């Protein structure tokens, strides 16, 4: 009986060596609206915000995509943290790099894509994966996310004097802004 236990323990030890999952590492970044305020999100315990679609992948392996549509809250999420007293409330994006099918490596680039479902507005950004295994915490460098304020475009107004038949052009510096189109 003793030999059976020893053999079983040895087999379990060997199997665990071959089933080594990827090394966990968490990325967390504060999210704000363009005016610096917290975005509105519906907060549910252990669920991501339903107002946003959040996707993440490592640039070097673009086919390995984590998404809030297909993965759990423990893989990636948009969520509110803080207690409002000791730690102020804030909205953060969170990705556990250990949940990608392949092992992440220092020097790779984590690519993030966040879509506000109601407006369809989207923002994408990249995060360099530094050496080590500590949490990548970017609370002092917030990412600006949608919904963006609507930019009122100038109307083309024809000149009233007869010096030219051409209408005035829209010279707004934001005419090619990706947030406006």
Q: Taking the chain (181 residues) in consecutive chunks of 10 residues, what is each chunk's mean pLDDT? A: 53 44 92 96 88 97 95 92 92 96 97 97 98 96 93 48 43 41 40
| Position 62 in a domain | yes
Predicted pLDDT of residue 72: 87
Q: How many domains does the chain have?
A: 1
Domain that holds residue 61: 27-144
Residues 14 and 36: their CA atoms lie apart, in Å, by 52
Q: Is residue 159 part of a domain?
A: no
Q: Is the peptide bond before 147 cis (omega within 30 degrees of 0)?
A: yes
pLDDT score recorded for residue 91: 97
Pairing of strands 136-144, 26-32: parallel
Q: Where are the alpha helices (DSSP H) in the chain?
A: 2-18
Determine the pLDDT at residue 158. 46
Does any domain span residue 153? no
Going by C-alpha positions, the residue among 57, 62, 68, 45 that lies closest to residue 116 is 68
Is 112 within a domain? Answer: yes
CA-based nearest residue to 99, from 45, 54, 58: 58
What is the pLDDT, as a whole number, of residue 143?
98
The rounded distance, in Å, linking the Cα atoms of 57 and 143 is: 17
Q: What is the pLDDT of residue 46?
A: 86
Q: Can you give the pLDDT at residue 3?
A: 64
């Amino acid at each position: 009986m003793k030999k059976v236990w020893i053999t079983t323990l040895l087999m379990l030890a060997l199997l665990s060596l071959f089933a080594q999952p990827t090394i966990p590492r968490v990325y967390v970044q504060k999210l704000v609206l363009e005016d610096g305020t917290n975005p509105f999100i519906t907060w549910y315990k252990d669920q991501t915000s339903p107002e946003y679609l959040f996707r993440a992948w490592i640039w070097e392996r673009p086919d390995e995509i984590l998404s809030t549509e297909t993965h759990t809250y423990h893989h990636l999420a948009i969520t509110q943290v803080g207690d409002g007293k000791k730690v102020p409330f804030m909205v953060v994006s969170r990705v556990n790099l250990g949940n990608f099918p392949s092992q992440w490596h220092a020097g790779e680039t984590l690519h993030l894509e966040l879509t506000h479902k109601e407006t369809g507005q989207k923002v994408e950004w990249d995060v360099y994966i530094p050496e080590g295994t500590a949490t990548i915490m970017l609370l002092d460098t917030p990412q600006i996310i949608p919904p963006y304020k609507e930019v009122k475009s100038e109307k083309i107004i024809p000149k009233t004097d007869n010096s030219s038949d051409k209408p005035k052009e829209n010279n707004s510096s934001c005419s090619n802004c990706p947030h406006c189109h």
